[in-house]
Amino acid sequence: MEQHELLAELFTALGHANRLKILAFLRDGERCQCELPEAMKLEQSNISRHVKILVSAGILRSRKDGTRTMLRVANPVILDLLDDTEKIALDGLKTRIKAFVP
């Protein structure tokens, strides 16, 4: 797989608001997947689908702890990427607002 394809796979996995919310939830460290439905107000099946995509892309790691599935961000650099991307998005929004406000 080429570098561009790997990057596209990574960004595709990040390209959903619920997956970004999961990463935000895990920002401070490992948590149980069982906490996500209440925190995100989503059904477990929906969360499981998003977690599977993030794990498959190598963005999250999961491990079993008895009956619980524990999740963590695989590489903290991904959080830096999200922070930088948020800055870019906000700068773009400010530019668009300035275009409409005299």
- The pLDDT tens digits for 5-61 are 999 999 999 999 999 999 999 999 999 999 999 999 999 999 999 999 999 999 999
What pLDDT score does 74 carry? 97
Average pLDDT on 74-79 reads: 96
State residue 81 phi and psi, 5-degree precision: -60, -45
Taking the model in full, what pTM does it have? 0.87
Q: Are 60 and 72 in contact (CB under 8 A)?
A: yes
43 by Cβ neighbours in 10 Å (0-12 / 13-18 / 19+) ranks as exposed
Cα-based distances in Å from 79 to 59, 60, 65, 94: 10, 11, 25, 23
In the predicted structure, residue 102 carries a pLDDT above the cut 70:
no
